[in-house]
Structure 1
Amino acid sequence: MNDVELYEKKYPEKWIVMQNKITQAFREMSIDEKRIIILASPLVRVNNATEKTPIEVASSEFAKLSGIDRNSAYKQMKSASKKLMKRTFIYEDKDGDDTEVQWLIRSKYADGYISMHFTDEVIYLLQVFDKLNPYTKYLKEDILNLKLTYSLDLYHLAKKSEGKGGFSMTLDQYRQELGTPKSYERINNLKENAVDGPIKEINQKTDIKITYENIKRGRTVTGLTFTVKAKPTKKKGQEGLNQNNEDRDIPPLTVKQIDRFAPLLANYSPFGSYAPSGKSTQEVISWLHTQLRDEAFLKTHKKHLLAIGYTFPKQKS
């Protein structure tokens, strides 16, 4: 059984999974082009697609998950697909040579859906995930309702670094990563449109919270340090969580409990988006052996621990 087959079993269609390289190829795309790639990506993975495989994205799903009017969804999809047909990106091949390829080799436009054929290089980015090809994963609903172009890009950056707690970049690195226009060389323009606005939207609509601080040389801002944290889930009625336990914090775990819950949590799919991306299961288990000693981690992931079998010690009467 190959890595892709193992991967398909672990992450079903509701998960968006992409090599980290692909987000760099997103530069300068419109938000609708990015949405199409995101919606198509699990279909490429679970169907073991090739260049000959048509990947169909329905306008009804595009409208529903993106929070846009259904009547305009098909027009937006068709326009975005036509742009993708003309787009190329450059990657370094196994010989170290820059190679330029198209995203799509064929598109078909029908009433209510578009059908696309991706190039082999794009398919590879959407199917192969290992140590040599680190990847990021998240749920569809956690990203597709973002409406600002740079919100999608910043979310990708944040999810890649969530397991580390955040990331830092110089201003030039950040501009290059997001593919911002020349006018964003002014820091006020950059922050307003590609930092503050996207952070506000991400914090309101997704599963993570981002804050940032300036990196300065003297009085000059030269970079940004972003802190990324998973939001604690406050929904009631979830598996293993009842009214009596909602206000209780999990006390420090014993070594025996950590040894028990680390592998269970690493293999619990609802926790998957919070684990470091691009890591093997064993590496995630090792990471969890440290995280499960942290009080804040226990508080944030109480619902996951309860779901995999943690029970509170009996309270003394």
Structure 2
Amino acid sequence: MANKLPKKVSKNLEGTGPLEHLVVKQNNLLEASSPLSLDEHRLIISAIAKVDPRKKLPSKQVNITALEYAESWGLDPKTAYQQLKRAAESLYHQSIVFDRHNATEEFRWIQRKTIYKRGAGQVTITFTDDVLPYITELHRNFTSYQQRNVRHLRSAHSVRLYELLVRFSDQGHRRFAELDDFRFSMDIAGKYADYKNLRKRVIDPAVAELCAHTDLDVAYLPIKRGRRITGLEFSMVRKSQPDLFAVEGES
């Protein structure tokens, strides 16, 4: 049975400010690999949060002002435009990689270099046609969360882990049977081959940030095969904040 966007989600889409906006992604997009910096993550999140996932996006364009960006991420308004502009410029070179049954598919987030409106402190990004089916006209197989849930995260790894776990927050756990699967999902394929380094540089800092600054309390245990660590099992519990939520569609 297809899952419709709940009334609570629709209501929040009509919020009065950037911190009320929802980020809604089709689950295949959420699971795809796209190695982004923290600022690039923030730009994508800001843009998607301005898209109504129930409808078409007629022009494929989204405008983001420096003031909105500063308010959303707790930045100094005096420097927010430069951060926004740099993120938009670098995003042009970033792509999304889907791993589908021993085959890969890759396409870009945006189809042209960003438009800057002089004197307005605003950038305009244009999503590619390939991206639109994953952020618009969504009726099933999606995950949503409030933009403010990730507002205080200061690491790209933390943002990425939050998205991967919030999809399964209702179940309370997520298992990565192989460490390479976790690395791909975290956009660090081929890096941190040593588990101790992976834990020190990626897992522990991200888990600590999620527990301190999001609506999820997170813990994890290594999965072992003999003495060798081969995978990870995450558990998560939603904190007592009824206005913070995520919705998962059918998988």
Alignment check: 8 A CA contact 2:96 2:109 kept: yes
CA-CA distance at 1:91 after TM superposition: 4.8
Alignment check: 8 A CA contact 2:92 2:108 kept: yes
In the alignment, residue 174 of structure 1 is paired with which amino acid?
F
Alignment of 1:4-83 (within 5 A): 9=10, 11-13=12-14, 14-25=21-32, 27-45=34-52, 48-50=56-58, 52-83=59-90
Q: 2:209 aligns with which of 201, 214, 236?
A: 201
Q: 1:88 aligns with which of 88, 91, 95?
A: 95
What is residue 278 of structure 1 aligned with on the other side? 249
d(CA) in 1 for partners of 2:115, 2:206: 33
In the alignment, residue 278 of structure 1 is paired with which amino acid?
G
d(CA) in 2 for partners of 1:55, 1:16: 14
Q: 1:26 to 1:143 in 2, by over 3 A?
A: farther
1:130 maps to 2:139 = yes
Alignment check: 8 A CA contact 2:25 2:135 kept: yes
Alignment check: 8 A CA contact 1:60 1:70 kept: yes
In the alignment, residue 126 of structure 2 is paired with which amino acid?
H
CA-CA distance at 1:130 after TM superposition: 3.3
- Render the CA deviation track for 1:258-290: whole Å, top value 9, x for unaligned: xxxxxxxxxxxx668255x0049xxxxxxxxxx
CA-CA distance at 1:6 after TM superposition: 8.4
Alignment check: 8 A CA contact 1:210 1:228 kept: yes
Q: Which has the higher strand share?
A: 2
- Render the CA deviation track for 1:87-124: whole Å, top value 9, x for unaligned: 2334589xxx8654321123212341211111122121
TM-score, scaled to structure 1:
0.66
1:119 maps to 2:128 = yes
Higher RCO by CA contacts (8 Å cutoff, separation 6 or greater): 2
1:101 maps to 2:107 = yes
Alignment check: 8 A CA contact 1:183 1:189 kept: no
What is residue 226 of structure 2 aligned with on the other side? 218
In the alignment, residue 220 of structure 1 is paired with which amino acid?
R
In the alignment, residue 131 of structure 2 is paired with which amino acid?
V
Q: 2:237 aligns with which of 223, 226, 229?
A: 229
CA-CA distance at 1:232 after TM superposition: 1.6
TM-score, scaled to structure 2:
0.82
Alignment check: 8 A CA contact 2:215 2:244 kept: no
Q: Which has the higher helix share?
A: 1
**Amino-acid identity (%):** 28
CA-CA distance at 1:75 after TM superposition: 1.4
What is residue 18 of structure 2 aligned with on the other side? none
What is residue 168 of structure 1 aligned with on the other side? 175
Alignment check: 8 A CA contact 2:215 2:238 kept: yes
Where structure 2 has 5 or more consecutive residues not aligned to the other structure, the ranges are 15-20
- Further displaced range: 144-153 or 79-88: 79-88
**Matched residue SS, 1:176:** helix
Name the Cα RMSD after superposition: 2.9
Whose Rg is larger? 1
Q: 1:153 aligns with which of 155, 160, 182?
A: 160
d(CA) in 2 for partners of 1:5, 1:20: 14
In the alignment, residue 187 of structure 2 is paired with which amino acid?
G
**Matched residue SS, 2:192:** helix
Alignment check: 8 A CA contact 1:66 1:146 kept: no
**Matched residue SS, 2:52:** helix
